[in-house]
Chains A and B, each alone.
Chain A
Amino acid sequence: MLIDLGIAFGRVAFVMLFVLNVAALLGWVERKQSAIMQDRIGANRASIFGVRALGLFHPLADTLKMLTKEDFRPARADRLLFELAPFVSVFFALVAFATIPFGDTLQVAGRVVPLQAVTLNVGILYVFAMLSLGVYGVMMAGWSSANNYALLGGQRAAALMISAEIAIGASIMGVVMIHGSLNLMEIVRGQGQLFWGWLPAWGILTQPLAFVLFVTAGIAATKRIPFDMPEGESEIIGYFVEYSGMKFGMFLMTDMVETIVLAGLSTSLFLGGWQVPYLVADGFRFPWGAVVALAPLVVTVLQVFAFIAKVAVVIFVLMLIRWTLPRFRYDQAMRLGWLGLFPLSIANIVLTGLVLIAWGNP
């Protein structure tokens, strides 16, 4: 009993610490990566006893600044909703990572532990439910601020979210059809198969169109550039105009956490999750016949590192997109969502169904 409790706690703690720490680190990654892309150096002045560590202390300095700032609330704001909104926003972003598997199973004290925070048969639906609920925090922030600009920003966020969520849901249907499961662990296991004995059956190869649609709609759902018209930090005003201090910081953190969730989800659905090519439960089995036997613990560690490395690569690409593209206009984003992504993902479902029927495997 106590061991079960400890194992459950350990799974949740690993995922929680992973997401929170990477979210804090993303602030640094974003600054440095954008700087290097633009031939700059990036923030490097924050130091502790003269040690600058490439600007790694800047997230710390930011947090300290936000914690010590005045926590302002407009006089006519709806007090309950105003205080609640950032917590709702960041809470649903944080719990969304729970069903994403970061490894296969691990033997602990005679028990087979799946390496994900929560084992759910409807894992994908859970992640989307949580991500969609996140928009309530944004709308609450816009509504409760008693500020017309904040309200309009919240409205833009809601409209963008709806047009993106539908495309997200429809685009992953192809993956679900191929693997016949909504369980993310099963989907990742299914991607361990090999085509013709050598090509890993990753989702990006079986569902390339769905991958592009999913990433596009996913960026829209995280409300980051090029789909950042809910906030539009460079000129238009967004839903968090009236927020200051750490509550504002929590909205920023929501964006970072949602980026990690999007990266973890695209990794699990399209990049083989924790799968390392040719690595099976007892070691490497290469298509040319070579076999490298490995202990189960080594295999698990390799899988976890593979998952983290893939997530890092996806985050790099997401950051690259964020610092390359200009913002879509409101009507352009709506048109892209409803007339571009949505019909294409429906077409992808039909095409996948036809191919599955032709190949004869359900």
Chain B
Amino acid sequence: MNLRQRFYLVEVLSGLALTAAHFFRNMGRHTARALGRSGARGAVTIQYPEERRPYSPRLRSLHRLVRREDGSPRCVACMMCETVCPAHCIYIVADEHPNPEIEKVPRRFDIDLGKCVFCGYCVEACPEDAIRMDTGILEFSSYSRGGMIYTKEMLLSLEPADAAGRPRSPIPLPADRRV
């Protein structure tokens, strides 16, 4: 360290000048924004639950099951996703499909989101493009482990996110939460 740095006071003052400059710049921006004179933000913080940044379209969010035109699941219960899942969080019970053109249909299709690692392998593995992770929903919670298990009906009801990545389906409330 040279003498100026060892003396410390000069360095302290330059540090104080930097933080004070930030303070007065941000304070000016906050004031101008409150008076409606300028749109510049005084802080980089985003007020999260009310304000959200747009998500990337590639973001892997809560799964959904894609529907056929008649509303039944596109899934044919081939077990590819259940096999590839590294977290063993998918549980499928297959059933006969009434239409002979289609081989099978899932009677149960449960995803335990408490175990899911959001790797997206199930989406990659699916030969029917029946499962996607494009709902844009990231907030799901529960007070119990059982509440983290999402059934076929819940997964079928979800919609894909809009162009800005905002979810179109309501964020699912925990089944065991009384509102």
| Shortest beta-carbon distance from B42 to chain A in Å | 7
Interface centre among B18, B27, B43 (most CB of A within 10 A): B43
12 pairs from A and B in contact (CB 8 Å cutoff): A36-B22, A36-B23, A37-B19, A37-B20, A37-B22, A40-B44, A41-B45, A320-B20, A321-B12, A324-B12, A324-B15, A324-B16
Task: State A321–B42 Cα separation when bound (angstroms).
Answer: 21
List residues 3-34 of chain B with CB under 8 A from any CB of chain A.
9, 12, 15-16, 18-20, 22-23, 26-27, 30
A35 within 8 A of B: yes
Which residues of B lie under 8 Å from residue A38 when comparing CB positions?
A: 22
Which residues of A lie under 8 Å from residue B16 when comparing CB positions?
A: 320-321, 324
Per-residue contact bits, chain A 320-336, to B (CB 8 Å; 1 contact, 0 not): 11011100000000000
**Are B22's CB and A41's CB within 8 A?**
no
Within 8 Å by CB of A325, from B12, B20, B27, B42, lies B12
Task: State A324–B47 Cα separation when bound (angstroms).
Answer: 25
| Shortest beta-carbon distance from A224 to chain B in Å | 15
**Are A39's CB and B43's CB within 8 A?**
yes
**Are A41's CB and B43's CB within 8 A?**
yes
Per-residue contact bits, chain B 44-67, to A (CB 8 Å; 1 contact, 0 not): 110100000000000000000000
Which residues of B lie under 8 Å from residue A321 when comparing CB positions?
A: 12, 16
Which residues of A lie under 8 Å from residue B23 when comparing CB positions?
A: 33, 36-37, 320
Task: State A324–B19 Cα separation when bound (angstroms).
Answer: 7
Task: State A35–B12 Cα separation when bound (angstroms).
Answer: 20
| Shortest beta-carbon distance from B55 to chain A in Å | 22
| Shortest beta-carbon distance from A322 to chain B in Å | 10
**Are A40's CB and B43's CB within 8 A?**
yes
Task: State A41–B18 Cα separation when bound (angstroms).
Answer: 18
A212 within 8 A of B: yes
Task: State A40–B44 Cα separation when bound (angstroms).
Answer: 6
A320 touching B45 in the complex, CB below 8 Å, given contacts A36-B26, A325-B12? no
| Shortest beta-carbon distance from A217 to chain B in Å | 14
**Are B43's CB and A323's CB within 8 A?**
no
Q: Which residues of B contact A (CB under 8 A)?
A: 9, 12, 15-16, 18-20, 22-23, 26-27, 30, 42-45, 47
Which residues of B lie under 8 Å from residue A39 when comparing CB positions?
A: 22, 26, 42-45
Task: State A224–B134 Cα separation when bound (angstroms).
Answer: 49
| Shortest beta-carbon distance from B35 to chain A in Å | 15
| Shortest beta-carbon distance from B10 to chain A in Å | 12
Known: A36-B26, A324-B15, A324-B19. 15 other contacts (CB 8 A): A36-B23, A37-B19, A37-B22, A37-B23, A37-B26, A39-B22, A39-B26, A39-B43, A40-B44, A41-B47, A320-B19, A321-B12, A321-B16, A324-B12, A325-B15
| Shortest beta-carbon distance from A49 to chain B in Å | 18
Task: State A41–B44 Cα separation when bound (angstroms).
Answer: 8
**Are A36's CB and B15's CB within 8 A?**
no
Per-residue contact bits, chain A 17-48, to B (CB 8 Å; 1 contact, 0 not): 00000000000000001011111110000000
**Are A323's CB and B19's CB within 8 A?**
yes
| Shortest beta-carbon distance from A281 to chain B in Å | 36
List residues 262-292 of chain A with CB under 8 A from any CB of chain B.
none
Task: State A320–B23 Cα separation when bound (angstroms).
Answer: 9
| Shortest beta-carbon distance from A211 to chain B in Å | 12
**Are B43's CB and A36's CB within 8 A?**
yes
Within 8 Å by CB of B27, from A36, A212, A324, lies A36
| Shortest beta-carbon distance from B9 to chain A in Å | 7
| Shortest beta-carbon distance from B148 to chain A in Å | 27
**Residue of B whose beta carbon sits closest to that of A35:** B43
A212 touching B26 in the complex, CB below 8 Å, given contacts A39-B43, A321-B16? no
Task: State A165–B69 Cα separation when bound (angstroms).
Answer: 82
Which residues of B lie under 8 Å from residue A35 when comparing CB positions?
A: 43
Task: State A33–B24 Cα separation when bound (angstroms).
Answer: 10
